[in-house]
Every structure is written in C-alpha cells, then in structure tokens.
Chains A and B, each alone.
Chain A
C-alpha cells in the first residue's frame, strides 16, 4: 500500500518527533536503530492495512496503536539511560539518568535535588582546593567574632567584621571533603538508579 503525500508526511512527522525525542537521551547509533525499527513496524502495518476509504483515519489508528512518539521515546530512553548509568557509573550518564527521572517522576525529582546538592557541594570544595594556591588571601575559613561560620572564597576580601583563616592545609582538607561528598553522592545516585531500574523492570506497556 502506497501512502498519499499527506500520509507520508504524517509518518515522517511521527518518526521525526520520535528521533528528536530519542536524540535528547541516547547515542546516535541507538537512535538510528530504534527509529529504523519503529519505521519498519509502521511500514509493515501500513502495507497490511486497507487504507480505503479514508487513509487518514486508518493511519491515525495505526499510529495510536503504536503509541505517541513521546511515550515511545520515553520508554526507550528510560530503559537505556538508566541502564547505562547503572552499568558504567559514568558521570555524564549518571547526570542524564538523574535528569531523565527528575523530569518524569516525582521521586526522581526529589532525589535529583538531593544529588544536585551533593555534586554541587563536592565541586565547590574542589574549587576551594584549586583556588587556594592562586588566591591564598581570599580562600579560607571565615570567622566572625572568633566563631567559624564557613569555608569559602571571598573577593575582594572577607566581609567587614569577619576574617579569613587557614593556611595551605585548606587545600587537602577541601579536596578530601570534596572527594568524600562526590563519592558518597555518586554511590547514592547509582544505588538509587539501580533500585529504580529493578523496580521498573518489565514495567512498560
């Protein structure tokens, strides 16, 4: 069965939206393979269908049985993204997976805030460690009235009424704190994703 120009355009539009949606989460070769398989499914359904008398109605039925492209893409990307993160533990893959869950599930959103805070804190400590030798007088522990209130970087200098203390030992201290928080956050995120993955095994329509 050959589609009319508008029917062909509808199929291509579906595949385009699917491809763009998948490309946001998946590697290019995976996207190509997935779109090719879905197109094969569509062409097969179309070839077997009797498109008369109303091609548009029949085509819409085929597409609705296949599912909206965003839903199909979500099922693909959730499987792949989380799987890659859990399997490899790579930082970028972890961020992608956390982002994926944050925008699709409530628990994912909550955990994403926790993990974002953890990662951001770790990198803040690393920044302190890196900046100490460059700006030794601007990096250290801030004291107000003799009470330590925080570790950080202050430009052009500590706020009035406070002073910065701490020698170069701040560098290893901040680096160790950053590393500890980073490893803890990363392990926590990976464990969360692994649990989510196990829970969601076989959970797609």
Chain B
C-alpha cells in the first residue's frame, strides 16, 4: 500500500466522525460544515461528495435535516445531531481516542527501542 493510499483511507474513514463533530455545537448547513472542516482539516477534497454522506447520516437517523428559507437569498438545508447522532458521536470519540492512544504507545515503544 502506498503512503497516498493509506492517507486516503485514513481521511475517508474519519469523515463521518469529522462531520458529526462539526455539528456538535449546533446546526449547520452543508457549506458551513464544509468550511468548518476545511478550517481545521484537509479532509474535504471534493466538496460535492460531502452531501451524499450527510444524506446517509440523515437516513441513518444520526442527523436531522431542515430546509430554511428567507435567511439567505437561497434556501439552506440545515443539519443537526439527533440524540442517536450524539450517542454515536460520543462512542466514536471514545473509540478514536482509545485507538490513537494505542498507536501512540506503539510509536513511542518503537522509537525508544531505536538505537
């Protein structure tokens, strides 16, 4: 596996968590979610493909979606976490921390063993 492929898999695998995290402090519409992700990460490569993920998370009951008109010249579709989404996010955060802790320990062990 090349480094690029590995990084791509890592990036893709983290997108669900990143999207849920971007909604943890309240509702956001699609572009605002993308801009939030872009401000902190380089996870979004093709903006348009974030929307199908938002759709899937909504259908899975993790997000609520509502069209809001009149706020801007064009309607915006706002997403917010549902209770199930919040529970999933808590679990994903916990899993992520446990996973990165283990990898970090492994890296430290490998580096301390180096001559």
Could you list which residues of chain A lie within 8 angstroms of chain B, going by C-beta atoms? 34, 36-41, 43-45, 47, 65-67, 69, 71-72, 75-76, 78-80, 83, 201-205
Chain A at the B interface: SS class: helix
Bound: A80/B59 CA distance, A = 10
A44 & B47 in contact (Cβ 8 Å cutoff): no
Closest to A46 in B: B74
Query: B76 contacts which chain A residues (CB < 8 A)?
Result: 40, 44
A202 & B31 in contact (Cβ 8 Å cutoff): no
A1 CB, min distance to chain B CBs, angstroms: 10
Could you list which residues of chain B lie within 8 angstroms of chain A, going by C-beta atoms? 12-16, 29-31, 34, 44-53, 55-56, 59, 67, 72-77
From the candidates A39, A41, A76, name the one contacting B52 in the complex (CB within 8 A): A76
With A34-B55, A76-B52, A204-B53 in contact, do A44 and B74 touch (Cβ < 8 Å)?
Answer: yes
Chain B at the A interface: SS class: helix
B31 & A45 in contact (Cβ 8 Å cutoff): yes
Bound: A41/B56 CA distance, A = 18
Query: B30 contacts which chain A residues (CB < 8 A)?
Result: 37, 40-41
Bound: A47/B47 CA distance, A = 17
A73 CB, min distance to chain B CBs, angstroms: 9
B77 & A204 in contact (Cβ 8 Å cutoff): no
With A71-B48, A79-B56 in contact, do A40 and B74 touch (Cβ < 8 Å)?
Answer: yes
Query: A202 contacts which chain B residues (CB < 8 A)?
Result: 12-16, 53
**Closest 7 CB pairs between A and B?**
A72-B48, A67-B46, A67-B48, A205-B46, A75-B49, A43-B74, A204-B49
A195 CB, min distance to chain B CBs, angstroms: 17
From the candidates A39, A43, A67, A78, name the one contacting B47 in the complex (CB within 8 A): A67
Q: A37-B51, A41-B31, A83-B56 are known contacts; what are 7 more A-B pairs with Cβ within 8 Å?
A: A36-B75, A41-B47, A67-B47, A72-B48, A202-B12, A204-B15, A204-B49
B15 CB, min distance to chain A CBs, angstroms: 5
Bound: A83/B58 CA distance, A = 13
A44 & B48 in contact (Cβ 8 Å cutoff): no
Bound: A36/B74 CA distance, A = 10
A12 CB, min distance to chain B CBs, angstroms: 14
From the candidates A34, A38, A65, A203, name the one contacting B12 in the complex (CB within 8 A): A203
Query: A71 contacts which chain B residues (CB < 8 A)?
Result: 46, 48-49
